Amino acid sequence: MPSTSDAPRQRLTRERVIDAALEIMDADGSDALTFRSLGRALGVDHTAFLRHFRNKDDLILALADRLLQQAVDAVEPSDDWRMSLRALSFSVRNTFRRHPRVATVVAGRTARSDAEFAGADIVIGALLAAGLDGAEAASYYRALVDVALAYAALEASVSTLPAADAEGDRRAWTHEYQSVDADRFPHLASVAEHLPAVDRQDQFDVAFGLLVDAIEVRVSRGRG
């Protein structure tokens, strides 16, 4: 029987490197991702990765592309511009929630990849269908994407908190916020009882709805 060392090695490809990098970051975060840690995970010398990636930042952009590709692939085309924006926003959010440690690092980056271009095309196509064009469509595209990514990154960051810290933050809505001094904080006290019911899904729905409403108002003003 041949020994393990005699077994043929699996060819090192760009996709294998990205897979391994994703696993390392999912488990231990960005600081744990180095070419040496990748080398240990894949059983190769750390210099082998230079054939596929110039440096760690190049690899980070590839991870951004991977997440964006997953998000775009999950979107079903729609004739309703509102549904197109909603579908892509929720798909990005869900993808980031599956890889929170990666999401917090790549959310603010510009991947300049086909996946990012495809997502941009969906958003801009929806805005054109809504009635925006030119500079306004470009401005709203940037705003929509930044808000969706910022929210998804915030949620991803929260999900990586130590369990005790996260529980303390959750309990604040049912304890500290419920016991505020109504004389000092009258407006807060007037709605405090409703705050615990506001969850992440509700927040995302409200934020998305406000943006869509703003688009409709801007288009109606232009037509007026």
* CATH number for position 99: 1.10.357.10
The pLDDT of residue 224 is 60
Instruction: Please state the φ and ψ torsions of residue 79, each to the nearest 5 degrees.
Output: -80, -15
What is d(CA 20, CA 159) in angstroms, rounded to the nearest whole number?
22
Average pLDDT of span 207-213: 90
For residue 85, give both structure tokens.
Answer: 């924006």
Domains identified in the chain, total number: 1
Residue 100: inside a domain? yes
Q: What is the largest CA-CA distance in the chain?
A: 81
Residue 177: inside a domain? yes
Give the helix ranges, DSSP H, for the chain: 14-28, 35-42, 56-73, 81-98, 100-106, 114-130, 134-159, 163-174, 186-191, 200-223
Say how many C-beta atoms besides its own lie within 10 A of residue 116's C-beta: 19
pLDDT band at residue 220 under the 50/70/90 scheme:
confident
Query: Whole-number mean pLDDT of the chain?
Result: 91
Average pLDDT of span 197-205: 89
68 versus 1: the higher-pLDDT residue is: 68
The pLDDT of residue 8 is 44
Residue 33: inside a domain? no
pLDDT band at residue 1 under the 50/70/90 scheme:
very low
Evaluate if residue 6 carries a pLDDT over 50.
Answer: no
Average pLDDT of span 156-174: 92
Residue 26: inside a domain? no
Residue 192: inside a domain? yes
Q: Which domain holds residue 154?
A: 77-223
Say how many C-beta atoms besides its own lie within 10 A of residue 111's C-beta: 20
The pLDDT of residue 218 is 87
Residue 191: inside a domain? yes
The pLDDT of residue 9 is 58
What is d(CA 121, CA 86) in angstroms, rounded to the nearest whole number?
14
Q: Work out the percent of the chain whose per-residue pLDDT is above 90.
A: 76
> What distances in angstroms separate CA 156 from CA 25, 43, 94, 175, 195, one per listed residue?
13, 30, 10, 24, 21
Residue 53: inside a domain? no
Is residue 49 a contact partner of residue 38, using CB atoms and an 8 Å limit?
A: yes
In sequence order, the 6+-apart residues with CB closer than 8 A to the CB of 48 are 12, 39
Q: Lowest-pLDDT range, 6-20, 51-65, 81-95?
A: 6-20
pLDDT band at residue 200 under the 50/70/90 scheme:
confident
Q: Lowest-pLDDT range, 7-16, 133-142, 143-152?
A: 7-16
Residue 81: inside a domain? yes
The pLDDT of residue 191 is 97
Evaluate if residue 211 carries a pLDDT over 60.
Answer: yes
